[in-house]
Every structure is written in C-alpha cells, then in structure tokens.
Structure 1
Amino acid sequence: MPATDGNRILFHHEGDLTGWTVDRVSITSGEPGLFVYRTENTGGSWSRVRLPIEENWEAEADQDQILASFALKNPSWILLQSKKDGGGSTRKALYARMLQGRRGAGSVICPLWMVP
C-alpha cells in the first residue's frame, strides 16, 4: 500500500496484481484532499492522481460516504456523499476516469456532475 499521512477510506483490488486506494491526505502534506492510488504490480509502485474536488465537504468523506467502481479496461467512477445537514439533506458528487488511449494511459479524472 502507498504510504500516506492521511486516512485510507477505500481499497479495491482486481486480480492478483492490480489495486486501488482512495486516501484523504492531511493539510500537513502540503496537498490536502482526496487521492486515488493505483498499482499494477502488487504494490511494487503506485501512481497517484488528486481527485479534483470542488467543495470542502468532498474532502471530508469517509468510508460510509464513498462508493466507487474501479477497472483497468473500463471507465471507473467515484461517488461522494456529504453528511446530512440539519434538514436531513445530503449532497453528492460523481467523478469518472475517462479513458484516453491504450489501457487507460493518459486517463483523467473529472467531475461529471454535482447534485445539490
């Protein structure tokens, strides 16, 4: 697993070699927010992408407020949900990895939409 100073809020593996984590990295690291890490060699090396969160509540998501689907050959997505406000309402944000090229090389994570 990648070493971070944050909190791991999600882990997913595909087969024996590939795995993903979503970590909340603290402000002391200089880049606070949510990061998606991926390995394709059983953790020998990890690539990292910062989730382009748009609102502060997204960085506060925990294990109960994230739903994700990760795949090497298909689009991946992450759904974040806020904690309930005083009126019992929640907000949601959906992010997707758009594949560009062979095996997702050069793929980007972008917001699809925000639901107030």
Structure 2
Amino acid sequence: MAKFGDSLLGEIAMGLEASGEQFIWVLVTEVLKIGVSIGAKKWTLCMGDDGVKWEAIVKAVKMVLAGEEIKEMRKRVKAFAQMARQAIEEGGSSDLSLNALIEELGCLSHS
C-alpha cells in the first residue's frame, strides 16, 4: 500500500473534484493499457508531494470517462477478467501452480 503526503493527497482530491465526474478510484497499470498517466513515472512505496498535480487528474478522469479510449480499455479489462477466471478454474494455470506448490511442500514435510 502506498503512502501519500498531505500535499499530494490535496492535489488528487482537487483534481477528482474538479473533474465533475463520478468514479471509483483504482490502481491500474499502463503496461496493460488500462490506465492513464497522471504524472508519476515510477512506483514507490512512499510518494513525494511533487509527483502529481490536480490538473493532470482532471485531464485523466475526463479522458477515461468521456474519451474514445475507454472503449478499448474496457475491452482489454474484460479480456483480462476472462483470463483471470480461467486461471483460477480447475485445471487453470493458477490452480495447477497452487496444486504443485502444495505437493512440493508436502514432499518437504515428509523428508
């Protein structure tokens, strides 16, 4: 979980309020092309107060909620959601990995 300074939280709050849009704020990544940059260029556990300005947040919120990019982002999110569901189903990659881990740990406890 990231920690933000008071100044940065103020900028985020002003930007979200000024966008005039209703939303749920979530952590996303540009690598998956389901996010929008707001100025911070690298992930850190504790961000300084100079990484993000409220004007950038207004622009990002409006781009996502009113722009054409949202259609493509939603398609990608649905595809990732489907892949995640398949991974946890019986026989999926996460299911198989968990079972392999359990087997390996079981072997270690019998050694």
Query: Which TM-score band applies after superposition, normalised by the shorter structure?
Result: under 0.3
TM-score (norm 1): 0.26
Q: Which has the higher helix share?
A: 2
Bigger relative contact order (CA 8 A; separation at least 6): 2
Q: Which has the higher strand share?
A: 1
The structure with the larger Rg is: 2
TM-score (norm 2): 0.26
